Structure 1
Amino acid sequence: MSQSGASLQMGADWDPTRSARERLDQLIRSYRHVVTEHLEPLVRGYHPSMLTGSRDEYLKMLELTTKMNVVGHACTEVAGFEYDARRQHVGSLFGACCFLADSFIDDFDDATTRDYLDRLGVLLAEGWFDLRNDRERLFYVIVSRLFSGRDIMNATTRQAILRLYEAQKHDVELRLARTYSEARPGRSELNALRQCASNRSGHAILVLSAFLLPELDLNYIALIYTAGALIMFIDDHGDCFSDLAHDRVTFMNQVKYPERTLRRIFVSYVQRVYRGLPPGNGRDLLIAFLTRYYLTRLDKHRQQKLKTASGWAVYE
């Protein structure tokens, strides 16, 4: 993660302290090593081609999984538990699971995406689907190990998983039903895109929390969902040009003033998280991460705009 813009320097009560930012830096460095130790043997055993050539996809998976461990660490501390070695293993499996699941949805053609979602539904209902390649084999092994460590018949865990699956399906339906080249969406469609973005990452962070913690109380669920939803808005702004290049519609690439909109969402959501969660290292780490992620994705968007402005429009 970039070191640029370590703080918004707004003087707000939630603005991350220097100690919180330094702790975040240290954990990021530490978890890069942890996730490599957990994931490289699995990749080498079940999808070895990821370790050949430039290894770009593998390195991206490690980076996403590092972020997932930082978020998992914060969510665990917020609930009053230690983010111990077992939970670090769970966070690593979950990060890799999310990376591979997203690749099935985002990196192939429409027919493959629909087929994957149908087969994922079979996996969730029956516990198995036919494996067609090494990528699916790695995904199944990771999911199996993740599920074996948690009672997925627990009501909260089961509901979180199914809602995440429904959010993925809805996202794909919206994407395939409409392309960026069509007219600007109306208010109702924008609201649908916004809710879909919230659900995609809001439910993902709840699934992670459900795997890490024995129980989730209602206040915790609402606030952690808010933090997760914010991550998706930040992600979609950072990925704006990639999404437009693939004719992929998101809330953030359809609003008229995306950077202004994202800042408003960021401040509102972070204030809600700061004021709602109990004071402590977990809350401070989560907000430091959200702030860092927001600032680095703004940088990413601006840099890509300079390189590709002639190719894609940016509504700012």
Structure 2
Amino acid sequence: MEALGRHSATVGWDPGPRAQERLNALFKRYRTGVGDRLEPIVRQYNPSMLDGGQVEYRKMLELSAKMNVVGHACAEIGGFDYDERRHTIGSLFGACCFLADSFIDDFGEDATRDYLERLGTLLTEGWFDPKTDRERLFFVIAARLFAERDVLHPIVRQAVLQLYSAQKQDVELRSMRRDGRRLGRTELNMLKRCARNRSGHAILVLSAFLLPELRLDYLARMFWAGALIMYIDDHGDCWSDLESNRLTFMNQVSHPERTLRRLFHVHIGQLASGLPDGDGRDLLLAFLTRYYLTRIEKHRQQRARGASPWAIYE
């Protein structure tokens, strides 16, 4: 793994070049594999996503590939192979996350609240009435994902409901506007906890679907890995989020890059010390390190180019 220079010191936890090479190989494999699993479903239920430049479809595949890499690490941490079934689960989960995030972020506040209300009905009553092809695609993918595991398993059920609760809180906090003043410590901590919970519980859902029997202390570490992913993401999207009037912890702190560097050290240290030595831990650390470095660069480029967001295929 390349040294992180002034961003971070790697002494004591750097998994080394072998983990970086393995990360490259797995990304290459999963970027192909997720398309094989998702393209037939998309073609059947939302074919317009495959028209033109396929920008949305490519973003969905990229997120699904990332979820497979994290899922692969999770399975190995638990002492299991990342087999074809888990590959399918990781692909479906990544597509679910992409579509759910788009309903929350891309179609206005009314559509966001309507989606969350109907998602709550799906989780409590098992009913979802899709209004568009995009929603139909989401429902079909979610149904196939839920069919892979017993969703009443305590770990799976609790993770799903906690993720839903975190999504609702994230939307509620968007009404908190700056109106020319700095946010107080209480408000900043609320934004920080919301970011932690939204992505932390998302990775818990992934881990629970892949490996319901994963040890609870390892699940706790996967939660912290998810939290770090959200802090990194929010820093990378800082300028586009501000343009959309969306407040996040990372776009409200006084020194965001310094804050992210500190969070990175703390979370990586917890993962390095709390997970068992082996390929799974090394793969997760390599992924998080690359994610951190590429989003630091995205933040700088986005500031120079303007606020328009774009996907990083990296």
TM-score w.r.t. length of structure 1 = 0.94
Q: How does 1:183-202 map to 2 (within 5 A)?
A: 183-202=181-200
Residue 249 of structure 2 is matched in structure 1 by 251
Post-superposition CA distance 1:3-43 (Å, at most 9, x none): xx944252411123000000000000110000000010010
Residue 314 of structure 1 is matched in structure 2 by none
> Closer, same or farther in 2 for the Cα pair 1:142/1:11, shift >3 Å?
closer
Residue 4 of structure 2 is matched in structure 1 by 8
Q: How far, CA to CA, are the matches of 1:110 and 1:11 in structure 2?
A: 42
Post-superposition CA distance 1:54-99 (Å, at most 9, x none): 2111100111111000000001100000001110000000000000
Q: Give 2:230's match in structure 1, choosing from 232, 242, 246.
A: 232
Give the number of aligned pairs: 304
Post-superposition CA distance 1:155-203 (Å, at most 9, x none): 111000000000000000001x223554221000000000000001000
> Closer, same or farther in 2 for the Cα pair 1:24/1:127, shift >3 Å?
same
Percent of paired sites with the same residue: 63
Asked if 1:45 is matched to 2:41, the reply is no
Give 2:299's aligned amino acid.
H
Residue 93 of structure 2 is matched in structure 1 by 94
Q: How does 1:275-290 map to 2 (within 5 A)?
A: 275-290=273-288
Q: Is the 8 A contact 1:181 1:247 kept in 2?
A: no
Residue 130 of structure 1 is matched in structure 2 by 129
- 3-state SS of 1:152 partner: coil
Q: Give 2:214's match in structure 1, choosing from 205, 213, 216.
A: 216
What's the C-alpha RMSD, in Å, of the aligned pairs?
1.2
Q: Is the 8 A contact 1:7 1:16 kept in 2?
A: no
Q: How far, CA to CA, are the matches of 1:41 and 1:107 in structure 2?
A: 24
Q: Is the 8 A contact 1:6 1:292 kept in 2?
A: no
| Residue ranges of structure 1 left out of the alignment (5+ in a row) | 310-316
Q: Is the 8 A contact 1:234 1:293 kept in 2?
A: yes
Q: How does 1:50-199 map to 2 (within 5 A)?
A: 50-175=49-174, 177-199=175-197
The range that moved more, 156-165 or 10-19, is 10-19
Q: CA deviation at 1:298?
A: 0.4
Give 1:240's aligned amino acid.
C
Give 2:121's aligned amino acid.
V
- 3-state SS of 1:150 partner: coil
Q: How far, CA to CA, are the matches of 1:27 and 1:82 in structure 2?
A: 14
Q: How far, CA to CA, are the matches of 2:285 and 2:3 in structure 1?
A: 11
Q: Is the 8 A contact 1:77 1:281 kept in 2?
A: yes
Q: CA deviation at 1:218?
A: 2.0
Residue 312 of structure 2 is matched in structure 1 by none
| Residue ranges of structure 2 left out of the alignment (5+ in a row) | 308-314
Q: Deviating runs (4+, > 4 A) in structure 1? A: none
Q: Is the 8 A contact 1:28 1:67 kept in 2?
A: yes
Q: Is the 8 A contact 2:232 2:260 kept in 1?
A: yes
Q: How far, CA to CA, are the matches of 1:112 and 1:299 in structure 2?
A: 32
Q: Is the 8 A contact 1:156 1:216 kept in 2?
A: no
Asked if 1:31 is matched to 2:30, the reply is yes
Q: How far, CA to CA, are the matches of 1:290 and 1:12 in structure 2?
A: 16
